């Protein structure tokens, strides 16, 4: 991972594995500070001066609304100009240009590239390629392909961190992950990040066909982290501090396997939420379908909308970190 670093800071942001506990805590503090400053008069004006000399390319060739808008909003908070490429058919690729040259064009005009591309490993490959050119810029993985979505995992932990602030933080809690745990990349990344904290207990509640992959279970066994697999959400709910819901990822179906599952068993309504602990929290990476009934939104345990909003502040914090500007918030 050292090749993704510069002067002890993150440079390319590629993988959840880059985020150790100490770094996360620093990012969380920066995000808190950003949130606080925006609330003060003239705070926004100050924030927008911090990275006004930087420009970001938002390269999202895979459909996305919320991650795209979250990064856009984050750039705007810290004063970065942006450009976007979302539909490669508007681009020069039709003239026979390689996608490598295309991305190098971005690095010529912009100071960082936030990238979501469907091709596996494309982000890492571009980071490698740019590093060889002598004119590299940071690449931030915005959730490329099937496997990695580091900033989503970060914002999930940021929300847990804030929610459990008065109760000792993330450690010593029980976490349930519910739904399509095999194919949802969010859960993999969150579990990885969480496994750095002490005394956690994980419950994986999923239909048998979509339970977590063996390698993730092996990872937890190796670390000696307590974990339980289950198919029954209702029996697990009353003991949890955090319930992390996910939607069915049927876009990855190979032959209609989602049809064979009764996914309604892995959903929440007010009836089920009543059995949860009063101070517990419900997360969801969004978008949702039917796995959380909208009536739950008004329950104080529902944290998914706040989670969404936290993402914008966390991503702004990450941009400040990458450009070595986080310390400038002290000026305010």
Interface residue list for its own copies (CB under 8 A) = 38, 43-45, 48-49, 52-53, 55, 57, 63-66, 69-70, 72-73, 76, 81, 83, 85-87, 89-92, 94-97, 100-102, 104-106, 108-110, 132-135, 247, 251, 286-289, 294, 297-298, 305, 308-309, 312
Tell me whether residue 92 or residue 235 sits nearer to its own copies (CB atom): 92
Tell me whether residue 170 or residue 248 sits nearer to its own copies (CB atom): 248
Which residue among the candidates 30, 61, 67, 246 is catalytic per the annotation?
A: 67
Which residues, listed in sequence order, are joined to residue 154 by a DSSP beta bridge?
Answer: none
CB of 22 to its own copies, least distance (A): 29
Q: Is 116 a catalytic residue?
A: yes
DSSP 184-227: -HHHHHHHHHHTTSSS-EEEEE--GGGPPPHHHHHHHHHHT-EE
Which residue among the candidates 48, 66, 86, 172 is catalytic per the annotation?
A: 66
Tell me whether residue 149 or residue 247 sits nearer to its own copies (CB atom): 247
CB of 325 to its own copies, least distance (A): 12
Tell me whether residue 192 or residue 207 sits nearer to its own copies (CB atom): 207
Q: What share of the chain is helix, strand, coil (3-state, %, to 5)?
A: 50, 15, 35
At residue 282, what are phi and psi to the nearest 5 degrees? Answer: -115, 125
CB of 45 to its own copies, least distance (A): 6
Q: Is 159 a catalytic residue?
A: no
CB of 163 to its own copies, least distance (A): 17
Cβ neighbours of residue 89 under 8 Å, at least 6 residues apart?
A: none
Q: Is 149 a catalytic residue?
A: yes
Which residue among the candidates 12, 35, 54, 116 is catalytic per the annotation?
A: 116
Tell me whether residue 277 or residue 328 sits nearer to its own copies (CB atom): 328
In this structure, are residues 83 and 55 in contact, taking their beta carbons and an 8 Å threshold? yes
Could you give the strand order of the β-sheet that contains 55-60, starting from the edge strand earlier in sequence? 81-85, 55-60, 112-116, 139-141
Q: How far is CA 328 from CA 43, 96, 227, in A?
A: 13, 44, 42
In this structure, are residues 152 and 146 in contact, taking their beta carbons and an 8 Å threshold? no
CB of 81 to its own copies, least distance (A): 4
| Residues annotated as catalytic (active site), given as ranges | 66-67, 95, 116, 149
């Amino acid at each position: 991972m050292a090749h993704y670093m510069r002067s002890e800071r993150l440079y390319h942001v590629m993988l959840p594995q880059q985020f150790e506990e100490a770094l996360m805590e620093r990012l969380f503090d920066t995000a808190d500070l950003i949130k606080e400053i925006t609330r003060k008069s003239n705070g926004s004006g100050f924030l927008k001066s911090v990275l006004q000399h930087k420009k970001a390319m938002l390269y999202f060739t895979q459909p996305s609304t919320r991650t795209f808008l979250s990064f856009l909003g984050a750039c705007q908070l810290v004063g970065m100009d942006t450009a976007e490429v979302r539909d490669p058919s508007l681009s020069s690729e039709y003239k026979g240009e390689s996608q490598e040259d295309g991305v190098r064009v971005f690095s010529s005009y912009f100071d960082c590239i936030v990238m979501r591309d469907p091709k596996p490993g494309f982000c890492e490959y571009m980071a490698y390629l740019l590093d060889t050119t002598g004119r590299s810029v940071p690449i931030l993985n915005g959730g490329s392909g099937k496997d990695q979505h580091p900033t989503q995992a970060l914002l999930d932990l940021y929300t847990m961190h804030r929610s459990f602030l008065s109760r000792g933080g993330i450690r010593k809690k029980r976490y349930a992950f519910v739904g399509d745990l095999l194919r949802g990349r969010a859960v993999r990344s969150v579990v990885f990040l969480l496994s750095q904290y002490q005394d956690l207990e994980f419950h994986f509640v999923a239909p048998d066909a979509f339970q977590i992959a063996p390698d993730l279970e092996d990872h937890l066994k190796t670390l000696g982290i307590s974990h339980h697999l289950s198919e029954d959400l209702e029996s697990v709910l009353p003991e949890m501090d955090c319930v992390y819901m996910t939607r069915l990822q049927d876009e990855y179906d190979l032959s209609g396997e989602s049809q064979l599952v009764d996914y309604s068993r892995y959903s929440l309504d007010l009836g089920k939420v009543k059995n949860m602990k009063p101070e517990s929290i419900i997360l969801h990476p969004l978008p949702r379908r039917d796995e959380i009934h909208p009536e739950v939104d008004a329950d104080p345990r529902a944290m998914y909308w706040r989670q969404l909003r936290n993402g914008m502040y966390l991503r702004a914090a990450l941009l400040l970190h990458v450009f070595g500007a986080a310390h400038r918030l002290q000026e305010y």
